[in-house]
Amino acid sequence: MKALVTGANGFLGSYLVRELLASGYEVTAMTRRRDDAGSLQDVRHVNGDVRNAESVEEACRGQEVVFHVAAISGIWGPWKLYHSTNTIGTRNVVESCLNQEVKKLVYTSSPSVTFGGKHQIDQNESAPYPRDWLAHYPHSKALAEQCVLDANDDKQLMTCALRPHLIWGPGDRHLIPRLIERAREGQLRRVGDGKNLVDSIFVENAALAHVQAAEAMRPGSPVCGSAYFLSQDEPVNLWAWINEILELGRVPKVTKSISYPWAWRLGYMLEAWHSIRELPGEPRMTRFLAAQLAKSHYFDISRAKEDFGYHPRVSMAEGMRRLGETLGAGDVDREVG
């Protein structure tokens, strides 16, 4: 089966390419720059930007299934950047799939599309999109997700959206390196009472779920036109987990804290300051980040289990052991939680 992966050089994208190859797929990897594809072996490479409809159309030619992983993530930045890449880019993918008669489209969404600043406790897919958005990233991803799900048609293009939460593991260039860097510089603070529980997902499990969802899509399948939360199915205390990661990275644990109301107010002020002064980079705190760090986020993944047989292949403990090896801290024998 011929499969296209957009954002194939990214963290999840590169693991998904390997999972597809191991499952016998003929893979085409789409990356924005030619040198981005250097680490991907045994695949066909195409260069292009999802914002460019013509390059997406060419990449989709002859494909049977498309995994749309490419996106701009983050807590700050201009709406135009997020909308053009995440929303318009996804629309280009959908239209190209239809034009090229691709049969299946699996879209990598985010649980943040349902986040409005409150606790998400054992939340399932019936949760609506919020009325107000705390950041451009989840807003642009929600618009893209809706575009993908609305396009579902058993006779033309079968689609689904997957919402993996806090993807982590060896090779991560964003989440874990940023945590370690901020802790090393003494800039990391616990937000809230430190009791919030969160779901996460080991990157190999996220890649596996994408392949399982694609293979379960057929006319009449409940997967078609549906969105799914994905996780390890093992909620952990966020700050205990962060401290364990920091210990693996051999940097000091988080000991200082800030209340959630104060972090929210600080985020509001810094957002305003950055906007007024048009400062480069992102604020050290935003309202979205404060809420993400202080609230619980864990999900009911029963539908993913029932509809396409998802179960984590790599446990939390095993994933932490592998992460520890890459961070140079040896084996991890402790339970996370």
Catalytic positions, written as ranges: 137
Q: What is the sign, positive or negative, of the torsion defined by CA atoms of 204, 251, 291, 268?
A: negative
Are the CB atoms for 51 and 70 separated by under 8 Å?
A: no
Q: Can you tell me the distance from the alpha carbon of 263 to that of 64, in angstroms, rounded to the nearest whole number?
A: 47
Strand order in the sheet with 2-6: 44-47, 26-31, 2-6, 65-68, 104-108, 158-164, 226-230
Helix (H) or strand (E) holding 298: strand 297-299
Q: Tokens 């409150």 label which residue?
A: 118
Q: How far is CA 127 from the centre of its chain?
A: 18
Count the Cβ atoms, other than its own, within 10 Å of residue 38: 11
Secondary structure (DSSP) of 156-215: S-EEEEEEE-SEESTT-SSHHHHHHHHHHTT---EESSS--EE--EEHHHHHHHHHHHHH
Determine the Cα–Cα distance for residues 330 and 328; give it in Å rounded to an integer.
6
Using only C-alpha atoms, the chain has a radius of gyration, in whole angstroms, of 20
